[in-house]
Amino acid sequence: MKTIGLLGGMSWESSLEYYRAMNREVSARLGGLHSAKILMNSLEFGELRDLMRAGEWDAIGHRLAGAALTLERAGADFMVIGTNTMHKVAPQVADALSIPLVHIADATAEVARSRGFGSVALLGTIFTMEDDFYVGRLAERGFTVLVPDEADRKLVDRVIFDELCRGELRDGSRAEFVRIIEDLAGRGAQAAILGCTEIGLLVRPGDTPVPTLDTCGIHAAAAVEKALS
């Protein structure tokens, strides 16, 4: 079994889910007392959030690349960035490494394609919904990507940072997310990508008839697949 390098803490709420999902996937596949081999470097998210607000993405990339190198030197065989938004600096991280990086958008695209979806809604932070690093990567793989209107993008972003990253799961916010997902389905989305690794904590299967793609679980499963290959 290969060792997974996990850049975590962004937020630590979703990092808990990554750890749980990876170990459950290994246990399901191998049985017995088997568990995942994981090296995690948990970053201080408050400092990174300040840099995000300031638009200092080069500094963020430098920090994540340094953290990833620490894991490579410690014995990680490949890298996972445990957050959608920070894949904005994934090229900078990948360039610093001599080991592969498993990209969350690629893993999500594979699952979406395998389930026959060609048009998808995307919910995430403002950066994920508006910047090209995620939407463009999906579009390059043939997907039509629909995002909420400006007011709803701001709502989703606020809930992520002010609630979900703090461990707050509010029924009112869940209802708003479901409304947004179903509005986008009405515009033609066949499924909704929960493109922030905390959203899957709020919107669960069964909350909406629209199929949802939980990027945290998908990314974790892709990491396990690579670890066991």
Write down the catalytic residue from 83, 85, 197, 215: 83
Distance of CA 199 to the CA centre of its chain: 9
36-55 in b/e form (b: 16+ CB < 10 A) is: bebbbbebebeebeebbeee
Q: Annotate 7-54 with three-state secondary structure.
A: EECCCHHHHHHHHHHHHHHHHHHHCCCCCCCEEEEECCHHHHHHHHHC
CA distance 25 to 205: 18
CA distance 171 to 165: 16
Write down the catalytic residue from 108, 165, 196, 197: 196
- Tokens 């979900």 map to which residue? 164
CA distance 18 to 24: 10
Is 108 a known active-site residue? no
* Alpha-helix runs per DSSP H in the chain: 12-30, 45-53, 57-74, 90-96, 104-114, 126-130, 132-140, 150-162, 171-186, 199-202, 215-228
Is 196 a known active-site residue? yes
**Residues known to be catalytic:** 83, 196
